[in-house]
């Protein structure tokens, strides 16, 4: 049975357009409540990022869950990984995140964590969808759930993040810039870094409901790069709107992406004998795979999406995985991608090795990689003759020194065209050629 609403990262879309509507989210809350209510009276946490629509959907979810007879704890604006962590520590049956991650404020979404802090299994998501096909039946008044706000959620998470580092570890003498994207980390990330001793310059910490991810954070590093250079900071840290992604900028203003950060953490752990293997994705740069092979560290690729990375990590009993977008999962420390926790691991590698971020990333040579996002209004057959022919021609021109990947985004209505190879001019040309064919093919099929 295929899921109708849940994608690779929950349910996401534009606010006001089905299914991201108040009535649907109300029923989703009730459906989720019913599924977890079957396991007992139940207790569900709800957190959100800083989008203005989050208040609306928080109320809708709360009403639906309470109608199903399940208690609710409201966390307020909190990073996605914080909700995963607090779900475990509160021994709740589930945690719900209201967020569209790196998307603009006009979008929003709903994603779930189970009692173990991991994303829900497919079967539980299917069970929730099954209840969406039935009418809401409100519990008797005596059996209604109750709601309360958790006042110390941010403090609990700050202490957790600091606790992922050894006792006595300090960032004293480190000057850094942190960009919180006017998102869910605005009131926790600077505190974590400052309480560890760093000198912190803050960006993106004034959310107003509509400026999340707007020319800031991990989706736009220009301001961070400029600020790092102007202030002569040691590094810059860019988080996304819900705090599960992180990218860095070195002291020269160079961007250090998720693949390079994953390599830095893996290399440091390998030196200390604590890296058994790394899980990446189809989008991971071939340079990462090659660099890890030179270290003797096993590497496998999964489908794009942190749920697939985490599944591969658990299957192989590995503690490290991630994506070039900045989703980095340290499985020995937490259960999901955590931008702050991953950033601390990078900073620890810098200080313990007494090397700059620029020096640490030099161990990995990235192949030029061009990604073109092609907007689509409907599904497109990527096995269409014109598309497969364009891909075949591109692969022939790469002559075994690169690769081509086409895939639909799991969170946005776009087709991602990725070409990787040694010659950046050729890679750019081929990506553009394939993208043009996808545009024409989609136009013809839509017409």
Structure tokens at 432: 């553009």
**Distance of alpha carbon 66 from alpha carbon 386, whole angstroms:** 52
- What is each CA distance from 361 to 19, 155, 263, in whole angstroms? 42, 33, 8
Q: Phi-psi region for residue 46, left (φ > 0), alpha (ψ -120 to 50) or beta?
A: beta
Which of the residues are catalytic? 101
141 CB-side CA count, 13 A: 0
Q: Residue 48, SS3? A: strand
- In the chain, the domains with their CATH numbers are 11-151 (3.40.120.10), 174-254 (3.40.120.10), 257-366 (3.40.120.10), 369-446 (3.30.310.50)
Residue spans of beta strands (DSSP E) within 53-145 = 71-77, 94-98, 107-114
For residue 10, the 8-state DSSP code is B
Structure tokens at 284: 């991971």
Give this prediction's pTM. 0.91
In contact, 347 and 174? CB cutoff 8 Å:
yes
Residue 7, pLDDT score:
87
pLDDT digits (tens, 9 = 90+) for 43-71: 999 999 999 999 999 999 999 999 999 99
pLDDT digits (tens, 9 = 90+) for 342-365: 999 999 999 999 999 999 999 999
- Counting as low any pLDDT under 70, the low residues of the chain are 1, 41, 411, 446-447
Q: Phi-psi region for residue 419, left (φ > 0), alpha (ψ -120 to 50) or beta?
A: beta
**What pairs with residue 148 in β-bridges?**
73
Residue 9, pLDDT score:
86
In contact, 213 and 247? CB cutoff 8 Å:
no
* Cβ count within 10 A of residue 52: 15
Residue 343, pLDDT score:
98
**Distance of alpha carbon 402 from alpha carbon 286, whole angstroms:** 8
**Distance of alpha carbon 261 from alpha carbon 272, whole angstroms:** 17
- What is each CA distance from 446 to 176, 250, 373, 376, 381, in whole angstroms? 49, 45, 18, 9, 11
Residue 442, pLDDT score:
85
Between CA 346 and CA 349, with CA 348 as vertex, the angle to 5 degrees is 65
Q: Which residues does 392 contact at the CB level (< 8 Å), separation at least 6?
A: none
Determine which helix (DSSP H) or strand (DSSP E) holds 288, and give its type and residue range: helix 286-295
The runs of H, that is alpha helices, within 376-415 are 385-398
* Cβ count within 10 A of residue 269: 20
Structure tokens at 430: 């081929």
Residue 31, pLDDT score:
98
For residue 142, the 8-state DSSP code is G
**Distance of alpha carbon 80 from alpha carbon 181, whole angstroms:** 14
**Distance of alpha carbon 260 from alpha carbon 333, whole angstroms:** 20
Residue 215, pLDDT score:
97
Residue 412, pLDDT score:
77
């Amino acid at each position: 049975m295929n899921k109708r609403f849940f994608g690779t990262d929950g349910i996401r879309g534009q606010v006001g357009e089905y299914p991201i509507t108040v009535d649907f989210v109300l029923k989703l809350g009730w459906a989720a409540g019913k599924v977890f209510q079957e396991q007992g009276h139940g207790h569900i946490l709800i957190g959100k990022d800083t989008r203005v629509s989050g208040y609306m959907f928080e109320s809708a979810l709360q009403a639906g869950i309470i109608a199903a007879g399940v208690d609710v704890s409201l966390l307020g604006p909190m990073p996605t990984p914080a909700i995963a962590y607090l779900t475990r520590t509160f021994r709740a049956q589930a945690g719900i995140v209201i967020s569209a991650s790196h998307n603009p404020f006009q979008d929003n979404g709903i994603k779930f964590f189970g009692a173990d802090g991991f994303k829900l299994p497919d079967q539980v998501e299917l069970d929730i969808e099954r209840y969406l096909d039935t009418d809401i039946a409100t519990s008797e008044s005596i059996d209604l759930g109750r709601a309360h706000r958790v006042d110390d959620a941010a403090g609990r998470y700050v202490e957790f993040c600091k606790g992922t580092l050894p006792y006595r570890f300090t960032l004293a003498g480190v000057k850094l810039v942190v960009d919180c994207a006017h998102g869910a980390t605005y009131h926790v990330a600077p505190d974590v870094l400052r309480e560890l001793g760093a000198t912190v310059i803050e960006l993106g910490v004034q959310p107003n409901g509509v400026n999340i991810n707007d020319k800031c954070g991990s989706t736009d590093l220009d301001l961070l790069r400029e600020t790092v250079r102007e202030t002569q900071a040691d590094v810059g840290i860019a988080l996304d709107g819900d705090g599960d992604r992180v990218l860095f900028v070195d002291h020269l203003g160079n961007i250090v992406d998720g693949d390079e950060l994953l390599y830095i953490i893996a290399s440091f752990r390998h030196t200390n004998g604590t890296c058994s293997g790394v899980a990446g994705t189809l989008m991971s740069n071939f340079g990462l795979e090659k660099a890890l092979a030179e270290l003797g560290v096993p590497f496998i690729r999964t489908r794009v999406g942190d749920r697939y990375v985490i599944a591969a990590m658990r299957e192989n009993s590995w503690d490290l995985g991630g994506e070039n977008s900045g989703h980095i999962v340290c499985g020995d420390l937490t259960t999901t991608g955590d931008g702050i926790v991953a950033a601390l691991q990078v900073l620890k590698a810098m200080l313990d090795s007494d090397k700059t971020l620029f020096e640490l990333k030099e161990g990995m040579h990235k192949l030029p990689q061009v990604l073109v996002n092609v907007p689509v209004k409907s599904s497109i057959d990527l096995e269409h003759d014109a598309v497969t022919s364009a891909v075949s021609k591109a692969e022939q021109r790469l002559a075994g020194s690169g690769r081509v990947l086409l895939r639909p985004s799991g969170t946005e209505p776009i087709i991602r065209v990725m070409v990787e190879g040694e010659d950046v001019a050729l890679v750019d040309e081929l990506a553009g050629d394939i993208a043009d064919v996808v545009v024409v093919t989609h136009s013809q099929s839509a017409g």
